[in-house]
């Protein structure tokens, strides 16, 4: 990625075909889609990339079993096709995960789940839909004729032994058997950064910490949040991809309220637990109060549990996990696994808000559709919101198709053919001395080929080859690399979104004795030329951010 300074210069000095507001997965997708169709693109993010909902998901790239219950079959099918495509486009970043629906203590596996999983298979597996429709579906999804994408094995019944092998944490509950099925997992914030990186390869100019303040005749007025300076961005079209903030961007001459969405935020909380306290090889579907279920998933060396789903009316800039949500998750976890985990056993927690569109109904947020919606004002502003992480490419296509239609151009969507990064075999990497082998594997999964330049940074000084936090593979070199190449400016950028340590070990690194924020700040100080005072201010700033986000459960 180009530096923020260079991006700001380009933002004010050039005219753009499209200005995208919002650097979450939807905005990143719109930037990539528009740039690959030949538009000149500017993207503005008011905070950090993925700092909104796109770093706070359950990290699943999935059809969404729960939406079968609400008969959102179109959404499930679309998401399943996208899931397959994402594994193909970003195999290092979107990977299959096994999931188990276990039956306990003599019970048989729940047949309703079996029926749902059959539908899931039929919608996802080309061979079950017949060869011809398979080829058609695959060709549509991949944009290439007749090529069959990755598709998961069908779900199957498994015995008690296999359940315990996959879910060691469940051993004490004496499972009788269960269903095994497949979905995919990712690192949501890294997916956003990867899509942005590709958009930039196609010429998009992206800058974080630049807020779109208002729409103007020429494009939009923005503010550089580092300096307070105002900037005029000249753009033919503006796309509002601000997720849960989408209804805050309103043109002056709005003719009808139907031209802009009404967002109804719903908060979802997740908790993380050390694998030693809740060992999982596969994910588990865990029954929870209110007839719901939550997922317990292995993720980046921890067990990740979530999510809750409740209407939310608090501050959307900093969303804290609520104590009630944490209790709900712990209660479900303990009841299912037979554990006695308490708040003190958690390694971290985080919360995010879903950008659900209110249609004026009074349904609970859990029942509201995750369908994406496109709005267009008479002044031309296009707003795209709702949807899911999994369906980002379809959402982007919807928005850019509309631009292309307006312009009367012939420019088909190409994102189904654009690889997202480039995978690399960890064995092909040459780490400098001191880099632990598990870090090499983790870097390959996070950056693909771009792990090579990260390791080159690690080779610069012995300190940079060290893990940021002992026991987890993320390297201090990643702090320096992200400052140079990913517009990371703060300790929070590094700990919450470039690495995911803030989620995996929020309690430890936001504790009073932790030296992690200081070590990261010192690396950033060298990259950004901060003096001692600024470095101290940045450490304080992280402490405030950690408290506002509630990652340390304090």
**Judged by CB under 6 A, does residue 339 bind ligand FAD?**
no
- Which CB, 142 or 186, lies closer to ligand FAD? 186
**Judged by CB under 6 A, does residue 352 bind ligand FAD?**
yes
Q: How far is the CB of 207 from ligand FAD (least distance, A)?
A: 10
Residue among 238, 244, 332, 457 that touches ligand FAD (CB under 6 A): 244
What is d(CA 13, CA 42) in angstroms, rounded to the nearest whole number?
11
Instruction: Please answer whether residues 420 and 25 qualify as being in contact, where contact means their C-beta atoms are separated by less than 8 angstroms.
Output: no
Site string for ligand FAD, 291-320 (x = CB under 6 A): ----------------x-------------
Residue among 8, 18, 44, 284 that touches ligand FAD (CB under 6 A): 44
Residue among 27, 152, 175, 283 that touches ligand FAD (CB under 6 A): 27
- Which CB, 103 or 296, lies closer to ligand FAD? 296
Listing DSSP states for 360-405 in one string gives: S----GGGS---EEEEE-TT--EEEEE--STTHHHHHHHHHHHHHH
Residue among 9, 17, 110, 211 that touches ligand FAD (CB under 6 A): 211
Instruction: Please answer whether residues 244 and 383 qualify as being in contact, where contact means their C-beta atoms are separated by less than 8 angstroms.
Output: no
For CA atoms 17, 22, 27, 31, give the dihedral sign. Answer: positive
- Which CB, 86 or 469, lies closer to ligand FAD? 86
Q: From the CA atom positions of the chain, what is the Rg in Å?
A: 23
- Which CB, 352 or 502, lies closer to ligand FAD? 352
- Which CB, 173 or 394, lies closer to ligand FAD? 394
Q: How far is the CB of 432 from ligand FAD (least distance, A)?
A: 34
Q: Angle between the 532-549 and 516-528 helix axes, to the nearest 10 degrees? A: 130
Q: How far is the CB of 513 from ligand FAD (least distance, A)?
A: 30
Q: What is the DSSP letter of 475?
A: B
Q: How far is the CB of 269 from ligand FAD (least distance, A)?
A: 7
Residue among 7, 124, 207, 353 that touches ligand FAD (CB under 6 A): 353
Listing DSSP states for 425-465 in one string gives: -GGG--PPTT--HHHHHHHHHHHGGGHHHHHHHHTT-GGGG
What is d(CA 285, CA 66) in angstroms, rounded to the nearest whole number?
11
**Judged by CB under 6 A, does residue 328 bind ligand FAD?**
no
What is d(CA 554, CA 543) in angstroms, rounded to the nearest whole number?
11
| Residue 484 three-state SS | helix
Residue among 20, 52, 187, 280 that touches ligand FAD (CB under 6 A): 52
**Judged by CB under 6 A, does residue 215 bind ligand FAD?**
no
**Judged by CB under 6 A, does residue 25 bind ligand FAD?**
yes
Length of the chain (residues): 554
- Omega before 307 cis (within 30°)? yes
**Judged by CB under 6 A, does residue 51 bind ligand FAD?**
yes
Residue among 7, 18, 22, 302 that touches ligand FAD (CB under 6 A): 22
Instruction: Please answer whether residues 273 and 230 qualify as being in contact, where contact means their C-beta atoms are separated by less than 8 angstroms.
Output: no
Q: How far is the CB of 146 from ligand FAD (least distance, A)?
A: 28
**Judged by CB under 6 A, does residue 185 bind ligand FAD?**
no
**Judged by CB under 6 A, does residue 268 bind ligand FAD?**
yes
Q: How far is the CB of 30 from ligand FAD (least distance, A)?
A: 9
**Judged by CB under 6 A, does residue 388 bind ligand FAD?**
yes
- Which CB, 385 or 487, lies closer to ligand FAD? 385
What is d(CA 10, CA 222) in angstroms, rounded to the nearest whole number?
14
Q: Report which secondary-structure segment, H or E, holds 540.
A: helix 532-549
**Judged by CB under 6 A, does residue 387 bind ligand FAD?**
yes
Q: How far is the CB of 466 from ligand FAD (least distance, A)?
A: 31
Q: How far is the CB of 256 from ligand FAD (least distance, A)?
A: 22
The one segment of 9-17, 40-48, 97-105, 332-340 that binds ligand FAD by CB under 6 A: 40-48
Residue among 355, 502, 550, 552 that touches ligand FAD (CB under 6 A): 355
Q: Which residues contact 545 (CB under 8 A, 6 or more apart)?
A: 318, 490, 492, 496
Residue among 75, 93, 212, 501 that touches ligand FAD (CB under 6 A): 212
Which value, to the nearest 10 degrees, does the dihedral of the CA atoms of residues 309, 318, 191, 127 take?
10
Q: How far is CA 327 from CA 22, 284, 546, in A?
A: 33, 19, 20
**Judged by CB under 6 A, does residue 80 bind ligand FAD?**
no
Residue among 37, 56, 88, 519 that touches ligand FAD (CB under 6 A): 56
| Token pair listed for 333 | 């976890």
Instruction: Please answer whether residues 125 and 133 qualify as being in contact, where contact means their C-beta atoms are separated by less than 8 angstroms.
Output: no
**Judged by CB under 6 A, does residue 283 bind ligand FAD?**
no
**Judged by CB under 6 A, does residue 390 bind ligand FAD?**
yes
Q: End-to-end alpha-carbon separation of the chain, Å? A: 35
Instruction: Please answer whether residues 44 and 207 qualify as being in contact, where contact means their C-beta atoms are separated by less than 8 angstroms.
Output: yes
**Judged by CB under 6 A, does residue 58 bind ligand FAD?**
yes
- Which CB, 138 or 365, lies closer to ligand FAD? 365
- Which CB, 25 or 444, lies closer to ligand FAD? 25
**Judged by CB under 6 A, does residue 53 bind ligand FAD?**
yes
What is d(CA 531, CA 525) in angstroms, rounded to the nearest whole number?
7
**Judged by CB under 6 A, does residue 261 bind ligand FAD?**
no
The one segment of 10-18, 42-50, 505-513, 532-540 that binds ligand FAD by CB under 6 A: 42-50
Q: Which residues contact 34 (CB under 8 A, 6 or more apart)?
A: 17, 18, 20, 41, 204, 239, 400, 403
**Footprint on this chain of ligand FAD (rule: CB under 6 A):** 21-27, 44-47, 51-54, 56-60, 62, 211-212, 241-245, 249, 268, 307, 352-355, 385, 387-390
């Amino acid at each position: 990625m180009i530096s923020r300074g260079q991006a700001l210069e380009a933002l004010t000095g050039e005219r753009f075909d499209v200005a995208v507001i919002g650097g979450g997965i939807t905005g990143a997708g719109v930037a990539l889609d528009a740039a690959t169709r030949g538009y000149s693109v500017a993207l503005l993010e008011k905070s950090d990339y993925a700092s909104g909902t796109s770093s706070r998901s359950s990290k699943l790239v999935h059809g969404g079993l729960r939406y079968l219950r609400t008969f959102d079959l179109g959404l499930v099918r679309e998401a399943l096709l996208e899931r397959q495509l994402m594994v193909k486009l970003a195999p290092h970043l979107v990977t299959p995960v096994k999931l188990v629906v276990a039956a306990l203590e003599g019970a048989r596996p729940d047949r309703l789940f079996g029926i749902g999983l059959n539908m899931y298979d039929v919608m996802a597996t080309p061979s079950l839909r017949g060869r011809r429709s398979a080829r058609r579906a695959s060709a549509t999804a991949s944009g290439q004729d007749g090529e069959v994408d990755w598709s998961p094995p069908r779900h199957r019944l498994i015995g008690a032994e296999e359940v315990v092998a996959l879910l060691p944490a469940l051993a004490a509950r004496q499972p009788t058997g269960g269903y095994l099925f497949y979905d995919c997992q990712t690192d949501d914030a890294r997916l956003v950064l990867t899509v942005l990186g590709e958009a930039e390869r196609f010429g998009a100019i992206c800058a974080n910490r630049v807020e779109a303040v208002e729409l103007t005749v020429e494009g939009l007025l923005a503010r550089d949040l580092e300096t307070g300076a105002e900037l005029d961005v000249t753009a033919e079209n503006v796309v509002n991809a601000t997720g849960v903030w989408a209804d805050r961007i309103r043109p002056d001459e709005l003719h009808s309220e139907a031209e802009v969405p009404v967002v109804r935020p719903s908060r979802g909380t997740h908790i993380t637990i050390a694998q030693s306290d809740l060992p999982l090889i596969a994910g588990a579907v865990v029954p929870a109060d209110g007839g719901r279920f939550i997922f317990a998933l292995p993720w980046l060396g921890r067990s990740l549990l979530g999510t809750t789903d409740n209407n939310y009316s608090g501050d959307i800039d900093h969303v804290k996990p609520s104590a009630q949500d944490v209790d709900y998750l712990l209660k479900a976890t303990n009841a299912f696994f037979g554990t006695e985990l308490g708040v003190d056993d958690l390694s971290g927690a985080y919360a995010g808000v879903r950008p659900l569109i209110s249609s004026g109904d009074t349904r609970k947020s859990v029942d509201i559709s995750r369908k994406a919606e496109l709005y267009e004002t008479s002044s031309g502003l296009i707003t795209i919101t709702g949807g899911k992480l999994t369906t980002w490419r379809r959402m982007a296509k919807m928005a850019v198709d509309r631009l292309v239609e307006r312009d009367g151009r012939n420019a088909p969507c190409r994102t189904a053919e654009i690889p997202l990064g480039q995978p690399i075999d960890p064995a092909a990497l040459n780490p400098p001395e001191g880099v632990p082998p598990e870090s090499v594997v983790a870097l390959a999964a996070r950056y693909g080929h771009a792990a090579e330049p990260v390791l080159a940074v690690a080779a610069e000084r012995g300190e940079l080859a060290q893990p940021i936090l002992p026991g987890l593979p993320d390297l201090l070199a990643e702090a320096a690399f992200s400052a140079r190449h990913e517009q990371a400016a703060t300790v929070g950028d590094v700990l919450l979104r470039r690495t995911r340590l803030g989620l995996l070990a929020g309690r430890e690194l936001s504790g009073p004795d932790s030296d992690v924020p200081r070590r990261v700040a010192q690396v950033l100080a060298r990259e950004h030329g901060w003096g001692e005072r600024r470095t101290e201010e940045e450490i304080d700033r992280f402490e405030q951010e950690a408290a506002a986000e509630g990652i340390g459960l304090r």
